[in-house]
Chains A and B, each alone.
Chain A
Amino acid sequence: MKFGIVVFPGSNCDRDMQDALQNDLGKEVIMLWHKDEDLSMFTTDDCIVLPGGFSYGDYLRCGAIARFSPMMKSVIAFAEKGGKVLGVCNGFQILCESHLLPGVLLPNAHQQFVCNNSYIINSTGGKALKIPVAHGDGRYFASDELLDELEANDQVIFRYCDSLGTIDKQFNPNGSLRNIAGIRNKQGNVFGMMPHPERASSSSLSNVDGLDVFRILGMN
């Protein structure tokens, strides 16, 4: 399984993601420029990553303009063919704006940029994972009907919790509905999450919980 990382103007986690995938997970990585559109070197066993940052300056709405870049058209087609796509932070926002994932990321309820370690837990249980968050617009929002549907289809992959795995509003860094930190699409090939696993995948960073995130997503 190899990875492609899309670089938009304003991406700033693309090199962190490249470093984590290459050096911590030992994967082949190809960097992709937003103005290109060639994904012919990838098969549906591979994964395209939309990294964090502030694509197109977050103008209009986070991720709204990136959606219409040439590379995103190819990424949308790749996802529709069943290829894996992972969006982290701004990448998650782009996936929502592209309608590859349902819902939207709104400004944090407390109106502050949040930058610290948060704990998240996978829907199937396991241990709480300490993963950094760094965002101003991470409040996941969708209608109640859609949230019920996401839960019924097991599409909520990560929720904010404490270090023991207790899911509660007080451990939610942005006011997201139902403590949602990450979701996947119905088909199970498109994943979006606000926390940054690439910032927690190396012992030199004193935190390797991010490796568990990649494992849960089937990308290790």
Chain B
Amino acid sequence: MTYNVQIKVMPLKDLLDPQGKAVMGGLKNLGLGGIEDVRIGKHITLQIEAESEDAAKALADEASKKLLANPVMEFYEIEMIN
């Protein structure tokens, strides 16, 4: 069966995110008040052929751990779509 998996990769909370900081400045210049913090990460979708949802999730987890995210600087969350 084919499973659609979404992976959210974000910079670790303690880390300075210069990209988010720059966008924050842009939002301020736009005149939008009330936005106190911006952090930018990645949204990755995988289409996985697997025997079960658990197997698909385990594969996505391995892909995240080995390549898609670097635990020194990022954390990730996996969400099954179907």
Binding site for B on A (CB under 8 A): 60-61, 64-65, 68, 97, 103-104, 106-111, 141-142, 175
Contact = CB atoms under 8 A, between A and B. Distances in A.
Interface residues of B, number: 12
A141 B15 contact: yes
Given A60-B67, A64-B67, A68-B67, A103 B18 contact: no
Contact of B73 (A104, A111, A175): A104
Q: Max chain B CB contacts within 10 Å: which of A65, A106, A110, A141? A: A106
Contacts of B68: 60
Q: Max chain B CB contacts within 10 Å: which of A64, A65, A175? A: A64
Nearest to A111: B18
Contacts of B15: 106, 141
A175 B16 CA distance: 10
A61 B15 CA distance: 16
A104 B16 CA distance: 14
B18 A110 contact: yes
Contacts of A106: 15-16, 73
B18 A108 contact: yes
Interface string B10-29: 00000110110110000000
20 contacts: A61-B70, A61-B73, A64-B67, A64-B70, A65-B67, A68-B67, A97-B70, A104-B70, A104-B73, A106-B15, A106-B16, A107-B18, A107-B19, A110-B18, A111-B18, A111-B22, A141-B15, A141-B72, A141-B73, A175-B16
Interface SS of chain A: helix, strand, loop or mixed?
loop
Interface in B50-70: 67-68, 70
A142 B18 contact: no
Nearest to B42: A60
Contacts of A109: 16, 18
Contacts of A107: 18-19
Given A60-B68, A61-B73, A103-B72, 15 more contacts: A61-B70, A64-B67, A65-B67, A68-B67, A97-B70, A104-B73, A106-B16, A106-B73, A108-B18, A109-B18, A110-B18, A111-B19, A141-B73, A142-B72, A175-B16
A192 to B, nearest CB: 14
Contacts of B72: 103-104, 141-142
A141 B71 CA distance: 12
B16 to A, nearest CB: 6
| Shortest beta-carbon contacts, A-B, top 10 | A111-B18, A104-B72, A111-B22, A104-B73, A107-B18, A61-B70, A109-B18, A104-B70, A106-B73, A109-B16
Contacts of B19: 107, 111
